[in-house]
């Protein structure tokens, strides 16, 4: 294609309707038709990125290969499309204003009064075009965060209005996601919220081309006609989006509603070729027809908000489907774990994952969990802080190093088995300064990790400031915990394993961030397999 086409996805009535899932599903269908597609997210908050936000505020901070700390919706984009995103795929109001103010200080607007229009909206439009101008993509989908009518979203909506005018007809369209609530007392669906949401959008000068209507019930034809009439769209452009059993059903639901076909017609692109979704259907078949079932305990400090561990939960779905196994996650708050109650809480688990996190809160609970699974031969998987807690637990209870700890939570420890990375010790600015993004890792020949990956060199994504203290490495390896993954450039320990254990693996990186529907992450696949084998062995003992 000569130049990229653009699709904007906006939302109204309420947040959390699923703009990211609709955008991802549409992108998947377009990709399955042979188009090169990418998705970007515009977030209307003033933080430069979500890197310094508490998970309770914003859920998981998703990290890309190039080290961008981004919104969790980018995880959905990658999981659906099986293609990596980058810094350019997530833009916040903070980044837009920071860029404009930096340019102003450098004299780029010398003599001009810097204003929201045109300077802020021009910067937003430049960010919209950034991916399209690379020549890599036929279609760029841009999800606008928040709801239409929010003060914070106005500059983005205004930029969309200008952008549509700039690129001309058939080069950009707007899909508006809205809600059709069902009033149980009245026994009917109500269109008024959607009408008001579209009215709010029209007041900004933007006419939606397609309406995607979330609903708990089917939307009959007469309701669709009413929505079309009052919202200035063709009835074929009123798309039903009923609640789904799994987010992975949504692409096929949108295919049935012909969302992708309507988009291509409006963008004047060929729609003769049907999307090839056979691989996706096979995944759903395995997901929905498991032959095994396991329960994995996820030990973390943010379990009240499950979006804090979104990529881990999705990686378990992918790995479960690969093993034709239903993975039930039991969410366990690390602050509730004590040496006295851990056996009671863990006795019916088939595996335990100790999750990433920051800070001292809940650490002793994680360490108690790891001691139990190590001593009782329960499959264990530790990620980032989870791996570091495994190192501390081993130091205290196997190496007998009293008071061993990470300097993250005890700067005065006599045995700093986990220490701050040297290049982090002089860092004072918190945002975007951790070890971020993809780094190489060499795997030890014959190790479990090498067997799992099937190769000796891998690359995985990181987000941390602390590392294994190599001064203790010899003592660990003599006692049975070996470093089986090493960064070739820094010598940083990336993976630790205990050999004489059904599955005991801790990784410094975040493998969950690279798990997709079409390529489940190998460590998760084999961890679930180990849990299945452990569950089978338990059943044999009971008999």
Catalytic site positions? 384, 510, 512
What distances in angstroms separate CA 480 from CA 70, 358, 484, one per listed residue?
A: 38, 27, 12
Instruction: Give phi and psi for 284, each to the nearest 5.
Output: -65, -35
Reported as type and span, the H/E element at residue 299 is strand 292-300
Range list of β-strands (E), 45-86: 62-63, 69-70
Beta bridge partners of 383: 507
Among residues 191, 208, 226, which one has the least CA distance to residue 263? 208
Q: At what angle do helices 221-231 and 192-203 cross, to 10 degrees?
A: 20
SS3 13: coil
The conformational region for residue 290 under phi > 0 = left, psi -120 to 50 = alpha, else beta, is beta
Q: Tell me how far CA of residue 463 lies from CA of 21, 170, 384, in angstroms.
A: 25, 41, 8
- How would you class 414 by CB atoms within 10 Å of its CB: exposed for 0-12, middle for 13-18, buried for 19 or more? exposed
Query: Running DSSP on this structure, what letter comes out for residue 402?
Result: T
| Phi then psi dihedrals of residue 290, to 5 deg | -70, 150
How far is 147 from 154, CA to CA, in rounded Å?
Answer: 10
Residue 34 contacts residue 199 (beta carbons within 8 Å): no
Question: Can you tell me the distance from the alpha carbon of 158 to that of 287, in angstroms, rounded to the nearest whole number?
Answer: 42
C-alpha to C-alpha distance for 94 and 272, rounded to whole angstroms:
42
| Size (the chain), residues | 543
At which residue do the structure tokens 């190998």 appear?
Answer: 522
| Residues tagged in the binding site annotation | 15-21, 56, 73, 143, 150-152, 190-195, 226, 244, 357, 385-388, 408, 465
Binding-site residues for UTP, please?
A: 15, 190-195, 226
Output the known binding site for Mg(2+).
73, 143
Q: Are 241 and 254 in contact (CB under 8 A)?
A: yes
End-to-end Cα spacing for the chain? 64
Looking at the DSSP bridge assignments, the partners of residue 435 are: 464
**Residues 6 or more apart whose Cβ sits within 8 Å of residue 249:** 284
Binding-site annotation: residue ranges for ATP: 16-21, 73, 244
Spatial neighbors of 538 by CB under 8 A, at least 6 apart, are 350
All residues at 6 or more sequence positions from 450 whose CB lies less than 8 Å from its CB, including other chains: 443, 444, 456, 484
């Amino acid at each position: 294609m000569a130049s990229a086409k653009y699709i904007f996805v906006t939302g109204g009535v309420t947040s959390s309707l699923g703009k990211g899932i609709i955008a991802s599903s549409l992108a998947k269908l377009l990709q399955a038709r042979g188009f090169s597609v990418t998705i970007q997210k515009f977030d209307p908050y003033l933080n430069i990125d979500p890197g310094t936000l508490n998970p309770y505020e914003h859920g998981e901070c998703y990290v890309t290969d190039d080290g961008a700390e981004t919104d969790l919706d980018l995880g959905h984009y990658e999981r659906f499309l099986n293609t990596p995103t980058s810094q350019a795929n997530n833009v916040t109001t903070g980044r837009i204003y920071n860029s404009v103010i930096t340019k102003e200080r450098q004299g780029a607007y010398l003599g001009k009064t810097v204003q929201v229009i045109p300077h802020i909206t021009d910067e937003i439009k430049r960010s919209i075009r950034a991916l399209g101008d690379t020549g890599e993509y036929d279609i760029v989908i841009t999800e606008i965060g928040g709801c239409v009518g929010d003060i914070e979203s106005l500059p983005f909506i205004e930029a969309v209005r200008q952008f549509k005018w700039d690129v001309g007809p058939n080069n950009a369209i707007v899909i508006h996601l809205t809600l059709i609530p069902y009033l149980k007392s009245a026994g009917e669906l109500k269109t008024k919220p959607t009408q008001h949401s579209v009215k709010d959008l029209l007041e900004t000068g933007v006419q939606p081309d397609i309406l995607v209507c979330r609903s708990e019930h089917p939307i009959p034809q007469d309701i669709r006609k009413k929505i079309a009439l009052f919202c200035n769209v063709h009835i074929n452009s009123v798309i039903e989006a009923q609640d789904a059993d799994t987010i992975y059903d949504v692409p096929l639901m949108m295919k049935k509603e012909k969302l992708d076909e309507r988009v291509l017609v409006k963008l004047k692109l060929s729609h003769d070729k049907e999307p090839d979704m056979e691989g996706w259907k096979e995944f759903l078949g395995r997901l929905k027809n498991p032959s095994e079932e396991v329960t994995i305990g996820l030990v973390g400090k943010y379990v009240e908000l499950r979006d804090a561990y979104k990529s881990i939960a999705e990686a378990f779905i992918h790995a479960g489907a690969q093993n034709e196994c239903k993975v039930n996650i039991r969410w366990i708050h690390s602050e509730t774990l004590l040496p006295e109650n851990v056996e009671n809480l863990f006795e019916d688990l088939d595996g335990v994952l100790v999750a990433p996190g920051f800070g001292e809160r809940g650490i002793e609970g994680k360490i108690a969990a790891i001691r139990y699974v190590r001593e009782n031969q329960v499959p264990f998987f530790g990620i980032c802080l989870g791996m570091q807690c495994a190192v501390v637990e081993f130091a205290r209870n196997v190496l007998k190093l009293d008071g061993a700890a990470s300097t993250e939570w005890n700067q005065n420890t006599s045995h700093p088995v986990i220490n701050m990375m040297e290049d982090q010790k002089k860092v004072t600015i918190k945002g975007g300064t951790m070890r971020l993004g993809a780094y190489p890792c060499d795997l030890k020949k014959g190790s479990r990790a090498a067997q799992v990956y099937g190769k000796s060199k891998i690359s995985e994504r990181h987000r941390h400031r602390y590392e294994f203290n190599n001064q203790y490495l010899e003592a660990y390896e003599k006692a049975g915990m070996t470093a089986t993954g090493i960064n070739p450039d820094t010598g940083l320990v990336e993976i630790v394993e205990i050999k004489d254990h059904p599955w005991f693996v801790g990784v410094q990186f975040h493998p969950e961030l690279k798990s997709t529907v079409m390529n489940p992450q190998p460590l998760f696949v084999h961890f679930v397999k180990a849990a299945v084998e452990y569950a089978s062995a338990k059943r044999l003992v009971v008999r």
